[in-house]
Amino acid sequence: MDSNQRMSRAEAQGVRYARELEGHLGWLDTFSGAALGILAVASGIYTYLGVSSLLDDDGALSIFAALAYSMAVSVAIFVFWSYLMRLLPAVRTAGARLGLMGSMVLGSLAIIAMSSWLNAAALAGAAAVEQHLARTVQQYQAALERANTLAVSAQGLQRDVARVRQSFEDLSAQEAAGDLSGLAGRGAVFRILRQKAEELAALETQIAGQEGLVVEAFTTGNEILSRMRGLTVEPGPVEARSVEFSEEAVRLAGIITRLRQLSVAPLVVRAASDLSASVVLPRLDGSTAAIQAGQQATIDSVLTVLGQRADTLRAAAEAVAAMAPPTDITYTPISTADAVIRYAGNFIPSWAGAIAIDLLPAVLVFILMITQAAIRSGRDGVAMEDTMTLAELRAALSALRDVELALERDAEAPGRRAAVAPTLPDPAE
């Protein structure tokens, strides 16, 4: 007996627990629909802003199209979560729950595809485009510095050219003094040495003339980069800044190309190849065969030295010419939606907010599932009549009395009809 009483008390506590939860749910239902509608409308507003950023035309038709799309998104979100908030907590079988949860996953993915990424574009689209501009500035800066490094390295070949030129001038001075061929004066050997010294002097002058152009181009490129950096953080609509940024990017690309063209490394390579290949041998002017033989031997030695110097100069120029060129950079304007997707890793909070505003009702669905399961567990094993409240019992008794009165009236109705029915004359009479 005591055991049954304890079970009855436990069941009564479960019923009270279930009834308490039902009361809370009844109160929450009074504003859950309105809250869900507000979330859907908020998502639709941000979706409208995201769609508007994708449309090039600002006419009435584009505004209507963006408005229609955002309204469709709001309705879809409201209806989808309303279905799940009602149906998923109510089903009891595992198969039905798995089916509805699978539908919830598919619907959530569809909402992210049609709404959340547009919400993220509205929340962080301008910042993402500015991030794209900043990345592009970094790329252009690296390309400009690389092109300047190549040009300056090529200008450094001027010292190698000057060293070779000086060596030929020294040899020509020695020949003039008679220290090479043994004959003082300016004969055939002297003319060869002077010819190559003059060629290298002309190349050295040409290289020196490029130095000012390289400095000017690099300075101009840095000024353009400074304006581009200012555009990335300047207040105002990012679309207008992107147009100006694009114009500056075209100018900077031209400066980088100019710096690449100012590199004298290819010129030095060709000059070094011609240094030993294009030698105009003068006529030997010795008065005797012995003197001419000495001149020829000296010329051969000079040509050997000339080839060695040319190989050294060509190797230095080829080393500069073989340096990796700057990367070709082309600025491509990007929409806010594309920028948010490309730089999603930099805007995780914005993505989280954009997705949360659409998928927050999923948390409410799980809360309702847990609550409905708790209500059912509190009522399990309890007869229906034991779960009735006093108000429900009074309503049931009142309904029962109404039924009984109706039955009594139906039972008495034939007698009353017979008593009040008029006596009709017999036709036989």
pLDDT of residue 311: 78
To the nearest 10°, the Cα dihedral for 413, 418, 420, 421? 130
d(C-alpha 269, C-alpha 115), whole Å: 60
- Residues 330 and 143: beta-carbon distance below 8 Å: no
- CA pseudo-torsion sign 414, 419, 425, 426: positive
Q: Which residues of 33-63 are buried (b: 16+ CB within 10 A; e: fewer)?
A: eeebeebbeebbebbbbbbbbeeeeeeeeee
pLDDT at 1: 42
Q: Model-level pTM greater than 0.85?
A: no
Distance CA 299, CA 71 (A): 93
In 149-231, the DSSP E strands lie at: none
What's the rounded Cα separation, in Å, for the pair 137 and 264?
27
Helix ranges, 234-261 (H): 238-261
Pair of tokens at residue 355: 């997705």
CATH number of 127-335: 1.20.1260
- State phi, psi for 264 to the nearest 5 degrees: -95, 5
* Predicted local confidence at residue 378, as pLDDT: 62
DSSP at 178: T
Alpha-carbon distance of 175 to 190, in angstroms, equals: 6
For residue 389, give the nearest of 7, 78, 16, 46 by alpha carbon.
16
Dump the DSSP string for 14-29.
Answer: HHHHHHHHHHHHHHHH
- Report residue 45 as tokens: 């507003």
**What local confidence, expressed as pLDDT, does residue 78 receive?**
93
Coil, strand, or helix at residue 326? coil
- Number of other CB atoms surrounding residue 220 within 10 Å: 17
Q: In whole angstroms, what is the distance from residue 297 CA to residue 331 CA?
A: 62
The whole-angstrom separation of Cα 8 and Cα 2 is 10
Domain residue extents for the chain: 2-126+346-387, 127-335
CA distance 277 to 272: 9
Q: Any idea of the CA torsion for 269, 272, 276, 279, to the nearest 10 degrees? A: 100
What is the distance between the alpha carbons of residues 357 and 74, in angstroms, rounded to a whole number?
A: 11
> What is the spatial distance between Cα 74 and Cα 166, in angstroms, rounded to a whole number?
83
**Is the separation of the CB atoms in 227 and 248 below 8 Å?**
yes
| 249 in Cβ contact with 340 (< 8 Å) | no
Give the contacts of 78 (CB within 8 A, at least 6 positions apart).
36, 37, 40
Q: Which residue has the tokens 């002309």?
A: 202
Nearest CA to 375 among 105, 45, 22, 10?
22
pLDDT score at 185: 56
Q: What is the per-residue burial (b if ≥16 Cβ within 10 Å, else e) of 268-292?
A: bbebbeebbeebeeeebebeeeebe
Q: What pLDDT does 80 receive?
A: 93
Look at residue 427 and give its three-state secondary structure: coil
The mean pLDDT values, 10 residues at a time, for the chain of 429 residues are: 49 66 80 89 88 74 85 92 89 88 92 87 84 90 90 84 78 65 58 76 83 89 91 82 88 90 84 64 55 61 70 81 83 83 84 88 90 74 54 71 78 56 46
pLDDT at 77: 93
Pull the structure tokens for residue 393: 């019992």
CA angle 385–387–390, rounded 5-degree value: 85
